[in-house]
Each structure stands twice: as structure tokens, then as C-alpha cells.
């Protein structure tokens, strides 16, 4: 198991202050903070990427002529027995 050594002064100050306020050990407040962060919804970058690709899909769908949007792809690709044509 790897050990963590916090040497950055501001990080140490924040951990000590939170532990003091909550009456917990430094380890407890670090574990709780990390767990809370992991429980949050995905970051804005990932959400933005998802929104971008959904918008691309919608735009692409609009570029397909209406008569092609209702094609039965299964009928085009497979025969009556469900085998590729």
C-alpha cells in the first residue's frame, strides 16, 4: 500500500483546520472529502462533451432526408431467417 505525504503548506493548513473544526483526525477528513468529491456528478468537462456529441447526433439526424429516416435497416441487412444477406 502506498503512503501519502502532504508537504504543500496550504493543503496541510486546510486539512488541520477541517479536522479541528469537525473534531476528527486528519485522515478521517481527507477520506470523507475524497469520498464526497467522488460522489458528485461528473465534471463539467465530461458533461460538456456529452452535450456536444448529443448535439452532433441531433444535427446529423436532421441532415438525413425524411424518407431515409424510416428505413428498416434490419430488413435491408438480414433475410427472413435472420441471416445476413
Which spans in the chain are helix H?
Answer: 9-22, 26-39, 44-63, 66-69, 73-77
Q: Based on the domain organization, do 9 and 34 belong to the same domain?
A: yes
Q: What is the mean pLDDT of the chain?
A: 88
Q: Based on the domain organization, do 7 and 25 belong to the same domain?
A: yes
Q: Based on the domain organization, do 11 and 50 belong to the same domain?
A: no
Distance of CA 82 to the CA centre of its chain: 37
Query: Which tens digit of pLDDT belongs to each residue from 24-38?
Result: 999 999 999 999 988
Query: Which tens digit of pLDDT belongs to each residue from 45-62?
Result: 777 888 899 999 999 988
Q: Based on the domain organization, do 14 and 52 belong to the same domain?
A: no
Q: Based on the domain organization, do 10 and 32 belong to the same domain?
A: yes
Query: How many other CB atoms are found less than 10 A from the CB of residue 71?
Result: 10
- Separation of alpha carbons 76 and 11, rounded Å: 62
Q: Based on the domain organization, do 84 and 74 belong to the same domain?
A: yes
Q: Based on the domain organization, do 83 and 58 belong to the same domain?
A: yes
Q: Based on the domain organization, do 11 and 46 belong to the same domain?
A: no
Q: Based on the domain organization, do 46 and 82 belong to the same domain?
A: yes
Give the end-to-end CA distance of the chain in Å, rounded to a whole number: 56
Amino acid at each position: 500500500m502506498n503512503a501519502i505525504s502532504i508537504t504543500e503548506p496550504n493543503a496541510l493548513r486546510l486539512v488541520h483546520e477541517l479536522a479541528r473544526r469537525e473534531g476528527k483526525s486528519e485522515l478521517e477528513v481527507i477520506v470523507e472529502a475524497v469520498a464526497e468529491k467522488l460522489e458528485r456528478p461528473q465534471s463539467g468537462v465530461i458533461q460538456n462533451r456529452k452535450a456536444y456529441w448529443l448535439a452532433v447526433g441531433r444535427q446529423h439526424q436532421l441532415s438525413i432526408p425524411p424518407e431515409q429516416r424510416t428505413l428498416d435497416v434490419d430488413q435491408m441487412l438480414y433475410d427472413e431467417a435472420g441471416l445476413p444477406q
